Amino acid sequence: MTDDTAPAPDQGLGREVLRLAVPAFLALVAEPLFLLADSAIVGHLGTSSLAGLGVASAVLLTAVNIFVFLAYGTTAVVARRLGAGDQRAALSSGVDGLWLSLLLGVLAAAAVALWAAPLVEVFGAPPQASAEAVTYLRVSTLGIPAMLLVLAATGVLRGLQDTRTPLLVAVAGFSTNAALSLWLVHGVGMGIAGAAWGTVIAQTAMAVVLVGVVVSGARRLGAPMGFAASGVLRAAVDGVPLLVRTLALRAVLLITTWVAAGLGEPELAAHQVALTVWSSLAFALDALAIAAQALTGKALGAGDVAGTRAMTALMVRWGVWFGVVLAVVLALLHRVVPLGFTTDDQVRAALAAALLVVAVGQPVSAVAFVLDGVLIGAGDARWLAVAQTVFLLAYLPMVLAVWAGGAVGVEGLMWLWVAFTGYMAVRAAGLLWRARGDAWMVTGAGR
């Protein structure tokens, strides 16, 4: 006899996905609001300040996000060991990730601070915009170690199937950042440096809270807390393929910003906001990818191949529909959004046009993000490193055609975003091909 009151398999999977994805969605939406708040606050200082923020943000996000493996790799390892029934080993791996993030954060901060001006000059922005970018960047480097600690600690908690704690911390951090930036920029009169200080202070507070949660859990289970050279080295080596993957992704964004810088100052300012909006939507769509990382790692750690397949199919379907919803909303608001960022009519017109293209690409982007999360959770990092490099090479002819075509103004910016959407389509197709095979489905706790 069957129990008619028991939830259907898809319904049970859906609840598990939602349990992780909803808090992750809210946290991920809050995270890019750091930059959205800075963009709105700095935008009212003038076009040069907003354009400078665009360049500085590209450098800062690259310096931080190339180490996103601290979150993604840690999530996969911790989830696998949790699925295999060894929570103490899971937290031990998480502690190793925290130590690695601190070391990398100090080194990255020193490098960016030392080379702030040359890094900004690479983009070829106008002199006043470049000066603003250097100011923002030099202050922001103080927060890089905290940003990497936030990545690693968040990865540990996601691997432990906890996305609520990062949500609470992210909301508190965003609120603090918005209030501080507004006060320091317009109240105290610090200009663009005030926005940078607001972000540094907020990120540092977030790091303290999240690391404290992980350390508390590790102590409770008796996991080693000290610096273990072998564990940190293993975490670093395991992170290399994901680092290569991330470098390829960041190269795409940097090349896109470089081309935008040649379209004119209003177009560069518009591109900064469009990219921030795209990143915000990407973080929203990435909620399913976060759930995919945690659930895929746990399922494969427990040897559940069938469950992994079912979750993958479900999350891809949900991702497409979520992408459609975001596309419709953004298309309806494409002329409203620019009003919140600038009073410059040229920037508003360029931004409105770019946002229409951003809207069209959302369903395709959703497929790419979800499957990226599935394969990261499965530990398929080596394939991802090679694949993302191939996707980058496929994007180069598209973006260089925009650069060589000589289009400027609104037309040039639209074609730039069309090329970027083409890149996302290539990426989604490649990930779909990989997900249909079986090579990535390796079971067990891993090393």
Mean pLDDT per block of 10 residues along the chain (447 residues) reads 48 79 77 68 81 84 83 88 86 92 94 90 82 90 94 93 91 87 88 89 94 93 85 86 90 88 83 85 84 89 88 92 94 87 81 91 94 92 95 95 79 90 96 93 71
Whole-angstrom Cα Rg for the chain: 21
- The dihedrals phi and psi of 226, each to the nearest 5 degrees, come to -75, 170
The pLDDT of residue 35: 63
Three-class SS state of 45: coil
Where do the H-state alpha helices sit in 141-264? 144-159, 164-182, 192-220, 229-261
The pLDDT of residue 62: 80
Q: Which two tokens stand for residue 281?
A: 């939507």
The pLDDT of residue 33: 63
d(CA 302, CA 288): 21
d(CA 149, CA 60): 15
The pLDDT of residue 31: 63
d(CA 194, CA 188): 8
The Cβ of residue 437 has, within 10 Å, a number of other Cβ atoms equal to 9
Q: Cα 386 from chain centroid? A: 20
How close are the terminal C-alpha atoms of the chain, in Å?
42
The pLDDT of residue 2: 44
The pLDDT of residue 41: 84
The pLDDT of residue 429: 97
The pLDDT of residue 6: 43
Give the predicted TM-score (pTM) of the model: 0.79
**Sign of the four-CA dihedral 37, 38, 39, 43:** positive
Contact 320, 402 (CB under 8 A): no
**What is the DSSP code string of 258-314?**
HHHHTT-HHHHHHHHHHHHHHHHHHHHHHHHHHHHHHHHHHHHHTT-HHHHHHHHHH
The pLDDT of residue 96: 92
The pLDDT of residue 7: 45
Three-class SS state of 436: coil
C-alpha torsion angle, residues 232, 206, 372, 293 (rounded to 10): 70
